[in-house]
Amino acid sequence: RLLSSKAATSCLRQAAIRPFSVSTMKLDQVTHTGQQFAEGDQRNARFGVTGLEKQVNTQWAIDLIAAVPPTLVTKRVVSCDGGGGALGHPKIYINLDQSGPQSCNYCGLRFELDHGHH
């Protein structure tokens, strides 16, 4: 027996008085995937039941990657494995023959050939 009968009764009483209405929910923020729940959306019930609010990360990955300046390199072909060893991604090779920065298909890091350095 994990819970005493008093504790079980208390838990049931607390669960019974939790609000199941989403009418008090405020409109939420748009997520990075464009999701936004309307006030009457049934998915809001999970937040009303637990008393928690939906947490939206305002620092989207695309903006974080854009803030990292391109890495200047001296070779026409570079490799990217995401860094971090096992926390990275499969190694790919990026051809820098085209002008301007070229992005890694996995992590978005950008590399650019330094034409002033031959």
**pLDDT, tens digit (0-9, with 9 covering 90-100), for 63-72:** 899 999 999 9
Which residue type does 8 have? A
CB atoms within 10 A of CB 86: 4
pLDDT at 74: 95
Q: Decide if pLDDT at 39 tops 60.
A: yes
**pLDDT, tens digit (0-9, with 9 covering 90-100), for 80-117:** 999 878 889 999 999 999 999 999 999 999 999 998 76
Q: Report if pTM > 0.75.
A: no
Q: What are phi and psi of 94, to 5 degrees?
A: -120, 125
HSE of 104 in the Cβ direction (CA atoms, 13 Å)? 24
Cα–Cα distance measured from residue 22 to residue 107, given in angstroms and rounded to the nearest whole number: 38
Which residue type does 13 have? R
Cα–Cα distance measured from residue 37 to residue 39, given in angstroms and rounded to the nearest whole number: 6
Percentage of the chain beyond pLDDT 70 is: 72
DSSP tally for the chain: helices H, then strands E: 3, 5
pLDDT at 68: 93
